């Protein structure tokens, strides 16, 4: 298959692109390499992908640039579009909401328009987030739960993206699937994620801030996410929304304890109140993913964090 991937230099994007190349697919990938976090880390992810692999074509481009997208779509017959590019981060959306509106809404609209006018129309996989569940009190989160109480503007833009995808499916028959990712972690991860900067601070002997010990997150290892997407690539679908999580939430105090064992050093901890936009717990019901994809996560938090810490100690991207 010829697959177009947005955000291919991102955390999930790089892992997914590598796996799909190993499966002999032709990949056209774009990324704008913005400086939300280390550009060098993004370039390092790309380095392994580009190499001598003739099935990988990379173009530095922004999904907000409609002209660049139209050029790519007009010159290539695409079987599938995997739209991963987005402005990530709940807390940053409190500081700079306009970049979320531009990237996550306008950028997604540009992708949808490009898919709509491509002949034949490729299938579309859209990366959504557990943040769409917002202040939902129903635990675990199920795909048919109401998602009309966003806790963050980031979550609101991701829910908007899902609604746009559904509308384009209804209007133009685009075969689409929205994947709700739950706190993805692992090697080559994002430096703004808790597990990453906790590791950095523990190794340096600096204080880490925990937002209430009983806060829980459904941490999902990146290889499990990639495996689910690869299974979806082979499937036929019309319109679906699917949770992809570990379905085993971990309290943050236990999470830090596991991280301490992996690092071999105790953390200095300061407890703080949960900041605006964050929610108390995330917990994925993955029964739909099990049924449709015959998938369930294999990597527990102990093994996953050990893999990350081993990678972190070997690499120079301690940002």
Assess whether pLDDT exceeds 60 at residue 30: yes
Helices and strands (H, E) in the chain, number of each type: 12, 13
Residue 268: exposure state from Cβ atoms within 10 A (0-12, 13-18, ≥19): exposed
Summarize pLDDT for 112-159 with one digit per residue, the tens: 999 999 989 999 999 999 999 998 888 899 999 999 999 999 999 999
Q: Tell me what pLDDT residue 211 has.
A: 75
Q: How confident is the model at residue 210 (pLDDT cuts 50, 70, 90)?
A: confident
Q: Tell me what pLDDT residue 191 has.
A: 94
Average pLDDT, the chain: 93
Rounded to two decimals, the pTM is 0.95
| Assigned token pair, 123 | 């299938």
The domain spans of the chain are 2-185+220-247+284-297
Helix (H) or strand (E) holding 4: strand 2-6
From the list 37, 92, 133, 154, the catalytic residue is 154
Whole-angstrom distance, CA of residue 220 vs CA of residue 304: 9
Strands (E), 55-135: 56-60, 80-83, 123-129
Active site (annotated) includes residue 98: no
* % of the chain residues with pLDDT over 70: 97
Other beta carbons less than 10 A from residue 298's beta carbon = 12
The CATH class of the 2-185+220-247+284-297 domain is alpha beta
| Assigned token pair, 248 | 């085993």
Summarize pLDDT for 4-28 with one digit per residue, the tens: 999 999 999 999 999 999 999 999 9
Angle at 168 between CA 165 and CA 174, to 5 degrees: 90
108, 117, 147, 106: which is closest to 130 by C-alpha? 147
* % of the chain residues with pLDDT over 90: 85
Assess whether pLDDT exceeds 80 at residue 317: no
| 82: β partners | 5, 125
């Amino acid at each position: 298959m010829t697959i177009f991937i947005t955000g291919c230099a991102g955390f999930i994007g790089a892992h997914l692109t590598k796996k799909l190349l190993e499966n002999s697919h032709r990949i056209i990938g774009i990324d704008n390499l913005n400086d939300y976090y280390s550009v060098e880390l993004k370039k390092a992810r790309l380095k392994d992908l580009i190499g001598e692999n003739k099935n990988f074509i990379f173009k530095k481009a922004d999904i907000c640039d409609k002209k660049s997208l139209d050029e790519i779509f007009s010159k290539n017959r695409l079987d599938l579009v995997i739209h991963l590019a987005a402005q990530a981060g709940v807390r940053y959306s409190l500081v700079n909401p306009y970049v979320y509106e531009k990237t996550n809404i306008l950028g997604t609209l540009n992708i949808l328009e490009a898919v709509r006018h491509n002949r034949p129309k490729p299938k579309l996989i859209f990366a959504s987030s557990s943040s769409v569940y917002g202040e939902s009190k129903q635990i675990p989160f199920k795909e048919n739960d109401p998602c009309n109480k966003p806790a963050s503007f980031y979550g609101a833009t991701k829910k908007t993206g899902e609604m746009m995808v559904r509308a384009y499916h209804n209007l133009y028959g685009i075969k689409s699937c929205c994947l709700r990712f739950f706190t993805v972690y692992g090697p080559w991860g994002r430096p703004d994620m808790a597990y990453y900067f906790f590791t950095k601070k523990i190794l340096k002997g600096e204080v880490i801030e925990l937002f209430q010990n009983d806060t829980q997150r459904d941490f999902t290892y990146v290889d499990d996410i990639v495996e689910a997407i690869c299974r979806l690539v082979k499937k036929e679908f019309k319109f679906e929304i699917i949770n992809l999580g570990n379905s085993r939430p971990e309290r943050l105090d236990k999470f830090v304890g596991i991280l301490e064992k992996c690092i071999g050093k105790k953390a200095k901890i300061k407890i703080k109140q949960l900041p605006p936009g964050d929610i108390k717990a995330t917990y994925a019901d993955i029964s739909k993913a099990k049924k449709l994809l015959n998938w369930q996560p294999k990597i527990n938090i102990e093994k996953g964090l050990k893999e990350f810490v081993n990678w972190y100690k070997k690499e120079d991207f301690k940002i």
